[in-house]
Chain A
Amino acid sequence: MSGGRGAVATVVGLVIWAAFGFSVAGTLAAGQQRASSAPLPDTFDFGHSATPEEIARLDIDVMPDGTGLPQGSGTVAEGARTWAQSCSGCHGPEGEGATAAPLVGRDPDSRRVTVGNYWPHATTLYDYINRAMPRDAPGTLTPDQVYGLVAWVLSQNAIVGEDAVMNAESLPTVVMPARDRFVPDDRRGGPEVR
């Protein structure tokens, strides 16, 4: 979802990534992987235009600035009920200890990768739960249920309080403990092992 944007975090992120050279050459016809050497027509006119409705049907992603978050909201208490019903079987009643990887923990020195010590963006929780959870019935949760689960997981990790309400306005403002841990890949080939 790449509509309106403008959160401060996004700007910071852009500066960081631009500094590491992920810029794109302006040309659109580099076409190194194209077999033919003949000039391409301006357009092949294959396929059909995507209507706003067609785009909206598939465009489910949520960006760090909150772009893509739907209407709706959920509380920690509501999330706890959904958790017990749909999630605890794999993730455990408290978010750790069952067959799935643990989700709870704040210790940055722990080898356990959790939401509290490793996830840099709270919005990723919404995006991922909405698209891929629960594993046996992905995509079946309502926006209110997903917001509630996000609130509950964040609360379990002591990132938000037990009275937190998650919605399109509040979720992008959550600052994750692991936000500043991530650095761009500095491997460049050559003799140095990185």
Chain B
Amino acid sequence: MTDTRNSVTTSRGRGRLTRREVLAGAAGAIGAAAVTPVAGQQAIDTTRRPGRGPNEIDQRSPFVTPQRDPSATSSRTPLQDLRGTITPADLHFERHHGGVPEIDPDRYELMIHGLVGRPRIFSLADLKRFPSTSRICFLECSGNLRRGSPETLPQMVCGLTSQTEWTGVGLSTLLREVGASPDATWFLAEGQDAAVMTRSIPMEKAFDDAMVVYAQNGDALMPGNGYPARLLLPGWEGNSSVKWLRRIELADQPFMTREETSKYTDPLGDGSTVRQFSFVMDARSIITDPAYPRVIEPGWHEIRGLAWSGRGRIARVDVSTDGGATWQAADLQEPVLDKAHVRFRYLWNWPGGPGEIMSRATDETGYVQPTWEALRAARGPRTRYHQNPITSWTIDDDGRVLFGAERLRS
């Protein structure tokens, strides 16, 4: 007990400042000095006072406060605050259906059974002993569009997408271990949450690139992303990458669970038929800067954003700065990975005056991100999932950047 207390004291003594201390110190320095700050000089002269020493775990600068935007069922990644393609684990979006369970890794088990020769139960340690593999890919909820008002952040437009370097074991390795039957055409993935989430997945995906992952950006999975282990189906709607995975059952037919019948299905334009097992996420992009709530000045701006496709690599991203009348190719940041977020950039000299900027992704299959009107024409007005329309930001006379909500009306 004493040791613990000393340890905490020592940790503080080594210089970990809380945000309150930093801000209070800054205010105090300004008040005491009462001199005009020199350009580039901090309120506390950092050259005249030693900073904190090494500590156990770093945290963001008190001046940097990116936050997910939580609702009752999800929390959205702050796309406008991020510069690269990897999402910090604590900012990865969440979508869950029965809350986040707290699972003891020492009691965790994954059972694989059904049409297999050797039904088997693996502990977390067992999973980690198998040959491992890593993959960088995006994960996106298929309900990832809010049409909103002009005062809508990128995070709110489509913050239910994130990217991670996942590490785990190939599902095909586990299926080989249990002796999967060639008669199996589907498998059920089941979670250990209060929703006991279940989805049926074609075996084709299992042998293609499905994984059971236990690491997120090299660290253990975050609880909201399936700790200690989840299914990962690259390029497919997030719901199918079942978290807190406890059971896989092989069968010769889909199980027709609630989440693949009454949910995550797409009523089509004829008013009667419904698209089912629509797993793949179509190509999409969004400009993350400049975006609401920024106010920009005339002159040079680098238009920046993200593009991705569940069907492979992004082939190109085009940017329009005149509301879609003309399009120019943006630069893509290497490496352009398969089923992964890619950064695009386009240098733009804003002359002032009203304008509208937008991006359009094309993937290696030749699929071009559609307009809202084209999506509606293809599917009718009732489809709610898999909405990937071109989105825009308008700029008014004062340089205020607003979400192009008008383009998503009707």
Contact = CB atoms under 8 A, between A and B. Distances in A.
Nearest to B181: A28
A157 B77 CA distance: 40
Interface string A17-44: 1100011111111111111100010011
Interface string B108-144: 0001111100111111001001111111000000000
Given A14-B252, A54-B121, A33 B272 contact: no
Contact of B254 (A17, A35, A36): A17
Interface string A56-71: 0011110110000000
A186 B98 contact: no
Interface residues of A, number: 71
A189 B255 contact: no
A183 B274 contact: yes
A106 to B, nearest CB: 14
Given A121-B261, A138-B194, A28 B176 contact: yes
A47 B122 contact: yes
B376 to A, nearest CB: 10
Nearest to B265: A182
Given A59-B249, A182-B265, A191-B366, A44 B255 contact: no
Contacts of B370: 193
- How would you classify the secondary structure of chain B's contact residues: helix, strand, loop or mixed? mixed
B247 interface: yes
Contacts of A33: 133, 135, 170-172, 209-211
B194 A61 contact: no
B195 to A, nearest CB: 5
Nearest to B234: A33
B278 interface: yes
Contacts of B122: 46-47
A166 B203 CA distance: 33
A55 to B, nearest CB: 5
A126 B312 CA distance: 38
B308 interface: no
Contact of A32 (B184, B190, B208, B254): B208
Contacts of B198: 61, 127, 131
Given A28-B175, A44-B129, A50 B182 contact: no
Interface residues of B, number: 90
Interface string A74-87: 00000000000000
B11 interface: no
Interface in A72-124: 108-109, 111, 113, 115, 118-121, 123-124
Interface string B195-221: 110100011101111110000000000
B253 A31 contact: no
A76 B99 CA distance: 31
Contacts of A22: 185-186, 202, 204, 277
Contact of A2 (B180, B246, B252, B382): B252
A44 to B, nearest CB: 6
A48 B121 contact: yes
Contacts of B280: 185, 187, 189
B402 interface: no
B262 A2 contact: no
B251 interface: yes
B367 A189 contact: yes
Nearest to A103: B262
Contacts of B203: 24
Interface in B267-297: 268, 271-280, 282
A47 B272 contact: no
A178 B252 CA distance: 23
B74 interface: no
Interface string A167-194: 0000000000010011111111111011
A23 B172 contact: no
Interface in B60-78: none
Nearest to A25: B207
B39 interface: no
6 contacts: A31-B172, A124-B258, A127-B255, A182-B265, A184-B277, A189-B282
The 9 closest A-B pairs by CB, nearest first: A189-B365, A24-B203, A33-B170, A47-B122, A128-B258, A2-B251, A50-B119, A131-B196, A185-B278
Interface of A: 1-2, 5, 10, 13-14, 17-18, 22-36, 40, 43-44, 46-50, 54-55, 58-61, 63-64, 108-109, 111, 113, 115, 118-121, 123-124, 127-128, 131-132, 135, 138-139, 178, 181-191, 193-194
